Amino acid sequence: MRKKLTLLISLLCLSLSFAFAQSVVKGKVTDKSGQPLPGVGVKVQGTTTATSTDINGSYTINAAPNASLIFTYVGFTTLTEPIANQSVVNVTLTEGTNNLNDVVVVGFGTQKKSVVTGAITRVKTSDIQDQQVTRLDQALQGRTSGVTVTQSSGAPGAAPQIRIRGASSINNSEPLYVIDGLVVINGGIDNLNPDAIESIEVLKDASAAIYGSRASNGVILVTTKKGKAGTPVINYNGYIGFQQPIRKVDLANATQYATLRNQAVTNDGGTAPFANPSSYGVGTNWQDEIFSNAMIQNHNLSVSGGSEKSTYYTSFGYLDQRGIILKDQSDYKRYSFTVNSNSKVKKWLTVGENLNYAYGRTLGSFNTNSEFGGPLSSALNLDPITSVLQTNSAIAAGYNQYAVRNSAGVPYAISPYVGNEITNPLAYAQTINGNYSWSHNLFGNVFAEIEPITGLKIRTQYNAKQAFYGGDSFTPLYYLNSNNSNTTLTAANRNNNRNYTYTWDNTISYSKAIGLHNFTVLGGTSAFRQSGVTLGTNYTGLPYTSFSQLSFNQSLSAANRVGYSGEDQPYTVASIFGRVTYDYDQKYLFSGIIRRDGSSRFGSNNVYGVFPSAQVGWVVTREKFFPKDSFVDFLKIRGSYGAVGNEQSLGAFYYTSVVGSGNNYVFGSDQLTIGSSATRPSNPDLKWESLHSTDLGFDAVIFKNLNVTFDLYRRLTKGMIQQQTVPGYTGYTDQPYANVGNLINKGMELELGYSRKMGDFGFGVNGNIAYNYNKILTLGNLVSYLDLGSFQGISSYSLQRNQAGHPVGSFYGFREVGIYQTQAQINSTPHLDGAKPGDFIWQDVNGDGKIDQADRTFLGSPLPKYTYGLTINANYKGFDLKIFGQGAWGNKVFEGYRRLDLPTANYEIAALNAWTPTNTNTNYPRLTDNDPNNNFKYPSNFYLHNGGYFRIRTAQIGYTVKKNWLQKIDVSNVRVYISSNNLATITGYKGYDPEVSGAIDRGVYPASRSFLVGLNVTL
């Protein structure tokens, strides 16, 4: 019995020893392209035994033959792999949906998103390829937190205004654009076809220091598409559709206009000018006359491909967008061509080029967002009693001989009530018919890169842009009204301009991994130069009646042919820069940048500026103590601090004394001597505006599929440039420039992204919201405020003011707090002379018992406090749905499109609710032409409205044809879709559009709603 028991125990121990035997397991971890993945976590399931892969993606671990290994890596889907008695276990990881493996462009290099330490937002081609954007800056709107994109005009081809983390200066807050290494200043990016863009990165914090003295307003890095190794890929992507006005302003019709005019005149003690208002009926709706549906089409064709040693990408694009206002006089066309190629000539040598050409042509250049004339301003202000054409022959006989006529010879009607710049918009259209502007732009780069040893790269890249642009215009003889005519000589203008910009960058970088230590060192130099010339001519007295007849070959006297020319002062920047990036096990992260810029715009005592920054990060989830089974899959905490500059606020020769002519003097009794003298003193200490940026944030992935990015920032601008007053006895006629003002922006940003696939159904939601607080801290010791101009010239009071303690461009004026109902109420409160019941009660702000300029106060900010965007994607089998919207709130919009200096201008429909003795429950004052209480003349909160809105930018339904159907015809992909842009806008603003650059609506050209049909085919 004892022998049997001993044998049983021995067999049990032997079996246990086999069960718990540990063997050495080796292997390699790669991605789907076969590249090794260093730093992958490898753990034996159900134990604490773990290791990570080395620089070659290899690992070694002790594990039981029947155990399983768990492979985890940031940005990749976690994989569990059984050992199954193998001694070698090689695995391939697939990328997850959290984008942490995206390669982000950071300026003169790239980094993986998981180790980026700066506040950098990325927009990929996949984010915009199905969005009908006609400019690259439109691609940023609502898709990037902290980036405010506001349209300046809805006219075809119009550029929007972009602000990154608020207005950083009272002078120039435009971001710096870098397209494939080419520095582009103050816009000029309309020539780049959005379909050719691979990605857009926005540097929002100290990471922008790599661009030094031009980076304080943020940097937008644009990378164009490149070819990939493989068989040639041919792609067509295009759409066609129509646009229409989103809304029209509610204006009085003819009967209502006559009624309101009677009311205004009789309130002033006059006789009603219209005996029977109802006899005029509805009259002319001038908005209907100028607005119409307009076509838009966009077509893009690309071919790409290559081998392991050489790749290429080439594309052609065509855009034709007509305007919704006077569509026959409003059109924008763009033809674009792109060619990129990379060739690995030797194992150690790579050469390539990225070249782009674009031709643009804009028809029509009438006023937009101006209350002083143009078709939109006229449609808003012209009386509805006047007809489009003057069919009364008796009245027409009294017209000037140069009154504008239609093709049938019938004259366009001239209003007997409203004059000045407000004219018949259809007649005005004939005076500009055919006028156009044009541009040719050739830009890109060529480069060569050598890699003499592994990790060491030496690169030289020459980036250049040659731009030619100009326009032709003809002014016929015409008569629109007594204040707007040309009845003496016809005139024509032709102007040609040339601009050349280059940036020559030379860099050397070295990347090395030593164990778990990874670092890259970069050093470089950069030379920038920009110059331009202009040449033009004016002809007068041409024997033509229309633009179509125009020829500059006409023989004219010298007095009728006047030429002119000019040139831009060359602008140069010379720079050296360096950057060090380091990480330990992709866990502890550091990036340091320093750049030294010398600029031709700096004063002699500050020719060079140094711009440093430092960024750190900590990937908490890679720590051993962090729970591996937590719902937090990835967490990176990061912070940055740095100093960058803004030299775009500096003009040529701001730092020096400028000589002006015309300072003549009489010597003796009659000898006049022509003289010149300095107009202002020099300031050799003048330099860039500096911005000190602090950022603290985190990036996280939770519940496998939810991406979270959060940032807190503080941006302090120091040394804003202003002109300083000097005593009059100095004799100077101009004021010197100095660095005297400070400004701050503070805020927070949140981005969320979630995506999931459940069988055949997939969906994703991405949203972002940003808050910005903007305040001027000081304007220097000599200036307490800066006024920004009067409103329509009818008041000596400014509409906006820059002053310490308030946002840039704050609205400033009088505050109305109600309407007087009785004379007794007027007598008991501070008031203006002539005030009557029905007039505004003006707030006595300073409490001195009277209403005067000292009672003006700050009324609101034109800058939105919050901006946000939302994208929803869903797909089921071959069908897909895309909805994208964005908006803003926390700002005011000033309604300023009615001509207040023209009392006979048409009224908004709200004027029907004006105060009368029988209509006292209203917030609209009594109508009056004399306006003794300045109800309408004073800039006040009466004109201010909430500028908040939410707009559905894109709503799209598409279908992708099944692959097995396409294989029969050797086609890779076909997708068709229907789409609408600007489908709906939720806003309380009653004007055309709450999205107004500068927040003053003077009759802004509104955005259009479009309905489109599109096709995307890949061969």
> Can you say whether the dihedral through the CA atoms of 736, 738, 744, 749 is positive or negative?
positive
Please tell me the distance from the alpha carbon of residue 581 to that of residue 75, in angstroms, as a whole number: 20
Distance of CA 669 to the CA centre of its chain: 62
Residue 422 and residue 381 in contact, taking contact as beta carbons nearer than 8 Å: yes
- The Cβ of residue 753 has, within 10 Å, a number of other Cβ atoms equal to 19
Report the half-sphere exposure of 782 (CA within 13 A, side-chain side): 12
CATH number for the domain harbouring residue 41? 2.60.40.1120
Write the pLDDT tens digit of every residue in 154-179. 899 888 999 999 999 999 999 999 99
For the record, the structure tokens of 788 come out as: 């920004």
Please tell me the distance from the alpha carbon of residue 692 to that of residue 80, in angstroms, as a whole number: 47
Instruction: Give the per-residue SS3 of 421-459.
Output: CCCCHHHHHHHHCCCEEEEEEEEEEEEEEECCCCCEEEE
Helix (H, G, I), strand (E, B) or coil at 855: helix
Please tell me the distance from the alpha carbon of residue 1000 to that of residue 990, in angstroms, as a whole number: 13
Number of domains in the chain: 1
- Is residue 905 domain-resident? no
pLDDT of residue 3: 52
Which whole-number Å values give the CA distances from 348 to 36, 240, 506, 521, in the listed order?
21, 47, 17, 19
- Is residue 751 domain-resident? no
DSSP state of 206: G
pLDDT of residue 12: 43
Instruction: Give the per-residue SS3 of 550-617.
Output: CCCCCCCCHHHEEEEEEECCCEEEEEEEEEEEEEECCCEEEEEEEEEEEECCCCHHHCEEEEEEEEEE
Global pTM reads: 0.88
- Is residue 653 domain-resident? no
- The Cβ of residue 279 has, within 10 Å, a number of other Cβ atoms equal to 10
Instruction: Give 790's strand partners.
Output: 798
- Is residue 667 domain-resident? no
Q: Give me the phi and psi of 3, to 5 degrees please.
A: -65, -40
Please give the biggest Cα pair distance in the chain: 148
CA angle 601, 596, 178 (to 5 degrees): 75
Q: Give the structural domain span for 70.
A: 22-92
Please tell me the distance from the alpha carbon of residue 321 to that of residue 155, in angstroms, as a whole number: 9
- Residues 6 or more apart in contact with residue 628 via CB below 8 angstroms: 43, 72
Residue 866 and residue 885 in contact, taking contact as beta carbons nearer than 8 Å: no
List the chain residues with pLDDT less than 50: 1, 8-20
pLDDT of residue 449: 97
Residue 194 and residue 128 in contact, taking contact as beta carbons nearer than 8 Å: yes
For the record, the structure tokens of 620 come out as: 């908490």
- Residues 6 or more apart in contact with residue 896 via CB below 8 angstroms: 371, 791, 792, 799, 943, 1000, 1001, 1002
- Is residue 197 domain-resident? no
- The Cβ of residue 49 has, within 10 Å, a number of other Cβ atoms equal to 16
Please tell me the distance from the alpha carbon of residue 63 to that of residue 44, in angstroms, as a whole number: 7
- Residues 6 or more apart in contact with residue 940 via CB below 8 angstroms: 813, 814, 815, 816, 840, 859
pLDDT of residue 848: 95
The β-bridge relationship of strands 949-960 and 892-895 is: unpaired
Instruction: Give 617's strand partners.
Output: 589, 638
Helix (H, G, I), strand (E, B) or coil at 804: coil
Please tell me the distance from the alpha carbon of residue 832 to that of residue 816, in angstroms, as a whole number: 13
pLDDT of residue 52: 83
- Is residue 457 domain-resident? no
C-alpha gyration radius of the chain: 34
- The Cβ of residue 498 has, within 10 Å, a number of other Cβ atoms equal to 17
- Is residue 76 domain-resident? yes
For the record, the structure tokens of 155 come out as: 């006219």
Helix (H, G, I), strand (E, B) or coil at 139: helix
- Is residue 972 domain-resident? no
